[in-house]
Amino acid sequence: MERVNITIGRLSFDHADYDAEGDVLYLHVNEPQVGEGEETPEGHIVRYAPGTNRVVGLTVLGTRRILERDGHLAVTVSGDRRDHPL
């Protein structure tokens, strides 16, 4: 795991792992921790601290493919979680 500084919306991720073979990017707020996952419309997984709206991680599927195709990454949060800082 590498220390990074990646900001999406109002949230900063400071740890990342990238699985090149699977083209999956794992972003974490602080050290990786257990979280409740919620799939975004784009097919990514936002992880929340159990029982809260506090984001603890984001799993981005097809990262390289998306960036090569679109030039940017979009993450949409469901209406139930809009009050969190992503």
Task: Break the chain into its structural domains and give their ranges.
Answer: 2-77
Q: What is the pTM of this model?
A: 0.81
| 3-state DSSP percent of the chain in helix, strand and coil, to 5 | 15, 40, 45
pLDDT of residue 84: 47
Q: What are the structure tokens assigned to 82, written together? A: 């809009």
Mind spelling out the 3-state secondary structure of 7-35? EECCEEEEEEEEECCCCEEEEECCCCCCC
**Confidence tier at 78 by pLDDT (50, 70, 90):** low
User: pLDDT tens across 14-54, in order?
Assistant: 999 999 999 999 999 988 888 999 999 999 999 999 999 89
